């Protein structure tokens, strides 16, 4: 089973943002979409979620054109973590996570247990009653991840694999919580679900991703394993600056997240 873009084009106003992009993300894998600012990463993710309709081409989820899904069917199969979420009302962390359970059957006690488990999974076990607006930016981001995780808690269901679609999931987090979130995403994939994440940190991407799509100016510049995509030549051309893979700088300090542990 997969989530695939086939010759996908997206036009926003007069601008053609995506220009015939192909991507096949498979269940059981963590797929990362990388590339410089303005390359079309978030637009591609929004198309994969069904938020944006394709100008041409199609998105296929578990063998079915995404345009044919009803909203509640999509909600049961995929959960989305956007870059930013602004809230005007004073919801608690529990109430935010509960939004992800609106379509879940079951007893209220079971739903409460799932909410607690989701908050614990993102490292916020004592934050259930905290107001969302009183949390730090990183804590808010993790509450939203808990909401998405609760929505598709079981990676596999009778209707096939479920999907987590994450737009810059570690952008506001310190190193320890970055590792927590990426390990959570990788574990979800290992248990049979699908994960697609827009990423900027190439070191974390190399550590955790099974499959990469490198975007540049609305097109796919490279697709494959980290070893196939994270090369001096491809990265330098995509990002417009000289980049060297697996070489420590001659001067300065270089942090290695690969050696960190939580």
Ranges in the chain, pLDDT < 70: 103-109, 247-251, 254, 256-262
Q: Which residues contact 220 (CB under 8 A, 6 or more apart)?
A: 21, 22, 23, 213, 214
What's the pLDDT at 261?
A: 56
Give residue limits of the domains in the chain.
2-86+156-259
What's the pLDDT at 104?
A: 65
What's the pLDDT at 158?
A: 87
pTM, two decimals, is: 0.92
What's the pLDDT at 262?
A: 47
If you compute the radius of gyration of the chain from its CA atoms, what whole number of angstroms results? Answer: 18
What's the pLDDT at 115?
A: 95
What's the pLDDT at 259?
A: 61
What's the pLDDT at 64?
A: 95
What's the pLDDT at 159?
A: 85
Task: For the domain made up of 2-86+156-259, give the CATH fold.
Answer: Rossmann fold (3.40.50)
Q: Among 30, 52, 32, which residue's Cα sits nearest to residue 41?
A: 32
């Amino acid at each position: 089973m997969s989530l695939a873009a086939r010759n996908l084009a997206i036009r926003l106003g007069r601008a053609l943002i995506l220009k015939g992009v192909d991507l096949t993300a498979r269940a059981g894998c963590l797929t990362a979409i990388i590339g410089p600012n303005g390359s079309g990463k978030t637009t591609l993710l929004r198309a994969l979620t069904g938020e944006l309709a394709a100008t041409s081409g199609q998105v296929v989820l578990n063998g079915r054109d995404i345009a044919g899904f009803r909203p509640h069917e999509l909600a049961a199969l995929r959960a989305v973590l956007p870059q930013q979420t602004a809230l005007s009302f004073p919801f608690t962390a529990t109430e935010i996570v509960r939004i992800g359970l609106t379509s879940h059957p079951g007893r209220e006690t079971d739903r409460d247990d799932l909410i607690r488990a989701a908050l614990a999974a993102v490292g916020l076990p004592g934050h259930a009653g905290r107001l969302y607006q009183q949390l730090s930016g990183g804590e808010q981001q993790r509450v939203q991840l808990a909401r998405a995780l609760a929505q598709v808690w079981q990676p596999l269901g009778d209707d096939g694999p479920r999907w987590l679609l994450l737009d810059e999931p570690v952008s506001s987090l310190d190193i320890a919580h970055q590792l927590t979130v990426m390990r959570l995403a990788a574990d979800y994939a290992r248990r049979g679900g699908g994960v697609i994440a827009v990423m900027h940190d190439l070191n974390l991407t190399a550590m955790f991703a099974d499959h990469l799509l490198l975007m540049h100016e609305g097109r796919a510049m490279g697709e494959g394993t980290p070893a196939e995509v994270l090369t001096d030549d491809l990265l330098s051309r995509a990002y417009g600056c000289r980049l060297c893979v697996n070489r420590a700088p001659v001067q300065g300090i270089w942090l290695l997240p690969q050696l960190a542990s939580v």
